[in-house]
């Protein structure tokens, strides 16, 4: 789910990478191009176990690996052309842990009620959560984003999963404060997964270490000797998350 605390002008070229890590956890890396006229927070619901501690999510700084997804895409042939087309405030106002992660300020919000501990302008509009009952009991990774048109460097973190068998991709859209049944997707999903047949996904011809040249800067997120799978989502689609 890619949702923002305020209205944004455009979101495009979204890339998401997921891989299972140790002890039932998951790595998630998220990047996009964004145009917004005001500072907003991006909120990513994540399927954490109920009652997860405030330090359950480990944020990872990929500022030095800003071309993470550029390198990852070199493992695949060029995709079809798209159709049509720290900065003065504190994220947590009531004791939630704040982490500086490269160009971002980030925080883990353990439950929906804990949003009351954030500045009001970085919450979703009242009533939105009642329309999204599937996220009851989940946690939320929240990132501060600057105003203006920008290519957002990869945001990365590791979180404990409520269901360690699933890889989760947050792809539900809320860009204007309302929940729509369908949304315009411009996403590339990437993952590394073992012992599962992935339909509608492309597999890289080589293991990651042969086309991603700066894996040392990935800090263990990518498994060097494993292949990478990719799925492209473009156009109007059902507004829902992807689970593998």
Three-state SS sequence of 126-172: CCCHHHCHHHCCCEEEEEEECCEEEEEEEEEEEEECCCCCCCEECCC
pLDDT at 197: 78
pLDDT at 175: 65
pLDDT at 2: 63
CB 24 within 8 A of CB 160: yes
3-state secondary structure of 65: helix
CB 16 within 8 A of CB 2: no
The number of distinct structural domains making up the chain is 1
CA 102 to the chain's CA centroid: 15
pLDDT at 123: 74
- Tokens standing for 241? 């998350």
Does 155 or 128 have the greater pLDDT score?
155
CA 131 to the chain's CA centroid: 21
Give the CATH number of the domain where residue 186 resides: 2.60.250
Quick check: 67 pLDDT over 80? yes
The phi, psi pair for 117, rounded to 5°, reads -90, 0
pLDDT at 84: 47
Quick check: 49 pLDDT over 90? yes
C-alpha triplet 37, 43, 45: angle, nearest 5°: 160
Q: Which domain holds residue 49?
A: 2-243
User: How far, in Å, CA of 4 to CA of 45, rounded?
Assistant: 11
Q: Which residue in 81, 69, 71 sits closest to 16, CA to CA?
A: 69
Cα R_g (the chain), whole angstroms: 17
Determine how β-strand 202-203 pairs with β-strand 2-4.
unpaired
Highest mean pLDDT among 108-122, 176-190, 199-213: 199-213
DSSP code of residue 70: H
Predicted confidence (pLDDT) per residue in 139-169, tens digit: 999 888 777 767 778 999 999 999 999 999 9
Quick check: 174 pLDDT over 50? yes
- Within 10 A of 103 (CB to CB), how many other CB atoms are there? 18
CA-based end-to-end distance of the chain: 15
E strand or H helix that includes residue 242: strand 242-243
Quick check: 104 pLDDT over 80? no
3-state secondary structure of 226: coil
Quick check: 83 pLDDT over 60? no
CB 108 within 8 A of CB 56: yes
User: How far, in Å, CA of 242 to CA of 109, rounded?
Assistant: 21
């Amino acid at each position: 789910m890619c949702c923002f605390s305020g209205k944004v002008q455009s979101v495009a070229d979204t890339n998401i990478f997921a891989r299972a890590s140790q002890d039932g956890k998951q790595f998630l890396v998220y990047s996009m191009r964004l145009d917004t006229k005001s500072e907003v927070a991006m909120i990513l619901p994540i399927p954490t176990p109920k009652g997860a501690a405030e330090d359950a999510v480990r944020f990872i700084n990929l500022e030095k690996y800003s071309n993470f997804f550029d390198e990852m895409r070199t493992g695949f042939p060029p995709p079809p052309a798209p159709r049509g087309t720290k900065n003065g405030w504190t994220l947590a106002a009531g004791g939630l842990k704040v982490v500086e992660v490269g160009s971002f300020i980030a925080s883990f919000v353990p439950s929906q009620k804990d949003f009351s501990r954030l500045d009001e302008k970085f919450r979703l509009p009242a009533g939105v959560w009642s329309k999204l009952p599937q996220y009851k009991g989940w946690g939320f990774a929240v990132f501060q984003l600057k105003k203006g048109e920008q290519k957002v460097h990869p945001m990365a973190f590791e979180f404990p999963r409520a269901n360690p068998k699933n890889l989760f991709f947050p792809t539900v859209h809320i860009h204007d404060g309302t929940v729509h049944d369908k949304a315009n997707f411009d996403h590339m999903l990437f993952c590394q997964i073992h012992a599962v047949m992935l339909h509608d996904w492309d597999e890289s011809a080589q293991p990651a270490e042969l086309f991603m040249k700066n894996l040392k800067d990935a800090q263990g997120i990518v498994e060097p000797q494993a292949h990478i799978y990719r799925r492209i989502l473009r156009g109007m689609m059902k507004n829902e998350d992807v689970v593998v």
